[in-house]
């Protein structure tokens, strides 16, 4: 039987006092009881397996969604310890699954240098929030099993056979009395586990959905690590350096892995991780990377006369235009800050990352002068565009000052000046704008009509945007600037509502506006301020009955079966302009009766990929996307 370098027995499992009522307050532990919280259960169990991989003891993880939404997670790690725990007087494995804050990651010599997840609360929280759970462990020459119902032990750890293998298998059914839904989204889980495999070089992760007639399966294993990650993120983009620049080094017990690549795009996409946790708010590791990037490229440009002595330095935003980067650090005792506790606060990490990147990038640029020149040409071009954008912005400000107003002429503003209670409808077309202006509640509803096709910002820099007569009114109406100057505290409306026709042109306008908000006003989406209005698709009229509005084809069928099909006049609305002001108010603008869809940013990587496919220069990926999704089209104009 294999002998491991680090002992991992009951004495390594520490129990921290202070049980919480997980079932009464699940949101405290998993964020919510929505589908996001449901997925969190799976992540917690898989995180434990990944921690075994990070410690060097696990090479394969298998995740299955069984019929009935049962989750099964199996790894080939060391197996949870099965001996009796000195403090709890029950097996260490049962302790881990029944005691909050019990685990092998709080100290002791268990072999865990670093770990992700909820640091010990994961297994017990999943158990507490499951209708039932079953844990099977292979280690010490045996097969052991224990069973639970809603967190309580119904079968203590029992030896059920012999085995010369090691590993842990966990099966559980989430509790339907706690969660809003038990339906897992395969694509969401697949995306998360792909990310985990990228971040743990050489780890094999398979995920399989056995619920439907057609089994879905994906196998992930990336020997290239973050190199493979960046190549995946940039698969639909035109690259400047064909191979990502890769840095992997350990300094002061902090392993650092970074890969980055430049594309011809205008946006920057930098993703940072600490112990495999996505630090969406960044932190010291990201700061160190940005500082090193700015200093190293400026030093090289000056030394090689790409920037003359009289030229000012390139700004960080110039150097990051078009970059795709992934930064991953492992920190023994991470300190997290920020609103969502996803911002790294360890001050020493900034210096470590900056030093490593300075050295490695300097060497790379000296050894690859052609790539260095191509990247710096883009940086200098970005610098000129930034300067042009600044002048355009100043021109807009001066022009508005002369006109004694900072609001666009076509905007019909509301009387209230309290952003939280105000909303602006961005309306397609003058005729619909006219109806919306007449039908609105002037106290809190503003109307901004747009006409014609606007700029595709995916293919444009900020200087073009400031000079665009279609987007300038939107920028002025929102009132918070764009890009790096955007300030969420200055928005003039709590709700920015896109109201477009239910046809192909309307969908195009919505996509163009959402691309603009995502690329240049992203905090507006992240803060939950962007909405899509849902005008009705049909009006049903029948003598002696009140008109009925239907928002979906399903509603149409349902109402025709209530009403009876005889004598019913069906009007299909193609445009907002077909509705008079009263109808528009009743169906689409009245807060008591309207339907609004809030635009949320669940996955920034996925959003970036979709906008790149739909609005970017590459035609091939767009054709593939259209062919793959054609079957979902509902409103097709021919």
Catalytic residues: 428, 501, 503, 505
Contact 513, 531 (CB under 8 A): no
3-class secondary-structure state, position 85: coil
DSSP alpha helix (H) spans, 308-403 = 316-320, 347-367, 369-402
Burial of 552 (0-12, 13-18, 19+ CB in 10 A): middle
Among 241, 382, 376, 268, smallest CA distance to 327 is for 268
Cβ neighbours of residue 585 closer than 8 Å, sequence gap 6 or more: 439, 440
Half-sphere exposure of 598 (CA within 13 A, CB side): 11
Distance between CA 549 and CA 573 in Å, rounded? 10
Contact 200, 222 (CB under 8 A): no
Cβ neighbours of residue 341 closer than 8 Å, sequence gap 6 or more: none
Distance between CA 300 and CA 487 in Å, rounded? 33
Among 346, 86, 556, 456, smallest CA distance to 95 is for 86
Contact 441, 425 (CB under 8 A): no
Paired with 148 in beta bridges are 133, 153
Question: What secondary structure, in 3-state letters, does 222-242 show?
Answer: CCCCHHHHHHHHCCCCCECCC
Contact 190, 43 (CB under 8 A): no
Which single residue is written with the structure tokens 């030229």? 311
Distance between CA 458 and CA 423 in Å, rounded? 26
Paired with 135 in beta bridges are 146, 170
3-class secondary-structure state, position 30: helix
3-class secondary-structure state, position 117: coil
C-beta pairs of 367-375 under 8 Å, 24+ apart in sequence: 368/241, 369/304, 371/240, 371/241, 372/300, 372/304, 373/306, 374/240, 374/241, 374/262, 375/240, 375/241, 375/262, 375/297
Distance between CA 556 and CA 549 in Å, rounded? 8
- Residue 376: both structure tokens together: 């710096």
DSSP alpha helix (H) spans, 440-503 = 462-466, 472-478
DSSP secondary structure letter of residue 589: I
Distance between CA 216 and CA 207 in Å, rounded? 8
Radius of gyration of the chain (CA): 28
Among 101, 107, 49, smallest CA distance to 80 is for 49
- 7 CB neighbour count, 10 Å cutoff: 13
- State whether the Cα torsion 408-413-417-422 is positive or negative: negative
């Amino acid at each position: 039987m294999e002998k491991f370098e680090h002992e991992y027995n009951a004495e390594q499992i520490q129990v921290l006092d202070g049980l919480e009522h997980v079932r009464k307050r699940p949101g405290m532990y998993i964020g919510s009881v929505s589908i996001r919280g449901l997925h969190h259960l799976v992540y917690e169990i898989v995180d434990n397996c990944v921690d075994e991989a990070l410690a060097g003891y696990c090479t394969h993880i298998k995740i299955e969604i069984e019929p009935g939404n049962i989750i099964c997670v199996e790894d080939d790690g060391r197996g949870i310890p099965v001996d009796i725990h000195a403090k709890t007087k029950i097996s260490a494995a049962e302790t881990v699954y029944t005691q909050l804050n019990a685990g092998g990651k709080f100290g002791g010599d268990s072999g865990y240098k670093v770990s992700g997840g909820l640091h010990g609360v994961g297994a017990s929280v999943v158990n507490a929030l499951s209708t039932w759970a079953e844990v099977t462990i292979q280690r010490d020459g045996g097969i052991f099993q224990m069973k639970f119902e809603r967190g309580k032990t119904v079968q203590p750890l029992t030896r059920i056979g012999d085995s010369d293998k090691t590993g842990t298998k966990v099966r559980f059914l989430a509790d339907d009395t706690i969660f809003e839904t038990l339906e897992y989204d395969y694509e969401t889980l697949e995306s998360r586990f792909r990310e985990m495999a990228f971040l743990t070089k050489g780890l094999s992760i398979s995920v399989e959905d056995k619920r439907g007639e057609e089994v879905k399966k994906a196998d992930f294993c990336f020997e290239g690590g973050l190199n493979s990650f960046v190549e995946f993120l940039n698969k639909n983009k035109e690259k400047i350096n064909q191979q990502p620049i890769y840095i992997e080094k350990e300094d002061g017990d902090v392993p650092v892995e970074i890969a980055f690549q430049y594309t011809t795009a205008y946006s920057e996409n930098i993703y940072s991780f600490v112990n495999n946790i996505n630090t969406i708010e960044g932190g010291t590791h990201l700061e160190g990377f940005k500082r090193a990037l700015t200093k190293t490229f400026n030093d090289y440009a000056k030394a090689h006369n790409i920037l003359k002595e009289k030229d000012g330095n390139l700004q960080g935003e110039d150097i990051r235009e078009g970059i795709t980067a992934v930064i991953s650090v492992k920190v023994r005792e991470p300190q997290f800050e920020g609103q969502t506790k996803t911002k790294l606060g360890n001050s020493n990490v900034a210096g470590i990352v900056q030093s490593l990147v300075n050295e490695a990038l300097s060497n790379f640029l000296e050894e690859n002068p052609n790539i260095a020149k191509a990247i710096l040409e883009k940086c200098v071009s970005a610098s000129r565009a930034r300067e042009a954008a600044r002048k355009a912005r100043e021109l807009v400000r001066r022009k508005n000052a002369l006109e004694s107003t900072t609001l666009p002429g076509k905007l019909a503003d509301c009387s209230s000046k309290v952003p939280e209670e105000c909303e602006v409808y961005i309306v397609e077309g003058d005729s619909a704008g006219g109806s919306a202006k007449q039908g609105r509640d002037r106290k809190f509803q503003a109307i901004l009509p747009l006409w014609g096709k606007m700029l595709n910002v995916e293919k444009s820099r900020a200087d073009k945007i400031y000079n665009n007569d279609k987007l300038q009114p939107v920028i002025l109406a929102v009132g918070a600037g764009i890009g790096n100057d955007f300030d969420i505290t200055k928005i003039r409306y709590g709700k920015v509502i896109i109201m477009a026709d239910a046809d192909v042109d309307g969908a195009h306008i919505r996509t163009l506006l959402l691309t603009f908000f995502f690329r240049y006003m992203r905090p507006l989406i992240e803060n939950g301020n962007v909405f899509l209005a849902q005008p009705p698709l049909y009006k049903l009229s029948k003598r002696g009955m009140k008109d009925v509005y239907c928002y979906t084809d399903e509603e149409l069928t349902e109402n025709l079966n209530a009403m009876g099909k005889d004598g019913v006049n069906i009007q299909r609305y193609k445009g907002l302009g077909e509705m008079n002001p009263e109808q528009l108010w009743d169906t689409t603008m009245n807060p008591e009766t309207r339907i609004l869809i809030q635009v949320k940013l669940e996955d920034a990587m996925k959003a970036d990929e979709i906008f790149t496919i739909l609005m970017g220069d590459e035609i091939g990926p767009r054709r593939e996307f259209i062919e793959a999704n054609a079957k979902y089209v509902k409103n097709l104009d021919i």
